[in-house]
Structure 1
Amino acid sequence: MFVVLLTYEKGLDVIDALLAEHIRFLEAQYAAGVFLLSGRREPRTGGVILARCENREALLAILARDPFWREGAARYEVVEFVPSMAGAGLDALLHF
């Protein structure tokens, strides 16, 4: 499992111009079962994605299709981890 931390590298005017395309990218990854949770950071300096993917290289190839990445509007930190505990109702996340 992976946590992807996005940090905006360009102004919110650029981010907002790319937002509709970024949302379509996110929706496609949810439909493919890759992304499990996502949202904005507060304050609005980037975002966070919880993802499951077979390996880091495959995830990086997917992230490269994000318009934020493509346009250099955000940098990405990818943290891989092995979940070992989960809160009530989230047990299914332990089996990825």
Structure 2
Amino acid sequence: MFIINLNYIVPLEELDQHMADHVKYLRKYYDKNVFVASGRKVPRTGGVILALAGSVEEVEKIISEDPFHKHKLAEFTVTEFLTSQYHPALKDLLS
């Protein structure tokens, strides 16, 4: 599993101009069972996405499609972690 951490580097007004496309991007990867959860940080300085993927390279390829990445609106970092415990409802996604 991967944590994708976004830190916004432009004013929120500029970011919001691309929000609809960002949400379409998120939905695409929810439909493919790659994204597990996502949301804004509090305060609104960025966001977090939990993703299931086979490699960091796969995650980086997926990130490259994000409008926030394409338009250089946010910086992205990826952290891989091994799930040792998880909610039973995630069993099918993680297997």
> Are 1:53 and 1:59, in contact at CA under 8 Å, matched by a contact in 2?
yes
Task: State the distance in 2 between where 1:93 and 1:58 align.
Answer: 20
Change (3 A) 1:20 1:4: same
Task: State the distance in 2 between where 1:9 and 1:26 align.
Answer: 20
TM-score where L is the length of structure 2 = 0.92
DSSP-derived class of the 1:59 partner:
helix
DSSP-derived class of the 1:4 partner:
strand
**Paired-residue identity, %:** 37
Cα offset, 1:14, TM superposition:
1.0
Residue in structure 2 matched with residue 29 of structure 1 by the alignment:
29
DSSP-derived class of the 1:58 partner:
helix
Cα offset, 1:94, TM superposition:
8.5
Q: Deviations over 1:51-91 (max 9, x none)?
A: 0011000110011000000000000110000010235x455
Change (3 A) 1:31 1:94: closer
Q: Would you say how many aligned residue pairs link Structure 1 and Structure 2? A: 95
Q: Are 2:44 and 1:44 aligned?
A: yes
Residue in structure 2 matched with residue 92 of structure 1 by the alignment:
91
> Are 1:86 and 1:94, in contact at CA under 8 Å, matched by a contact in 2?
no
Task: State the distance in 2 between where 1:28 and 1:94 align.
Answer: 16
- Unaligned runs of 5+ residues in structure 2 are none
Task: State the distance in 1 between where 2:6 and 2:65 align.
Answer: 14
Q: Deviations over 1:31-50 (max 9, x none)?
A: 01110000000000000000
Q: Give the AA of the match of 2:58.
A: A
Alignment of 1:1-96 (within 5 A): 1-87=1-87, 89-90=88-89, 92=91, 95-96=94-95
What RMSD in Å do the two structures reach over aligned CA positions? 1.6
Cα offset, 1:92, TM superposition:
1.8
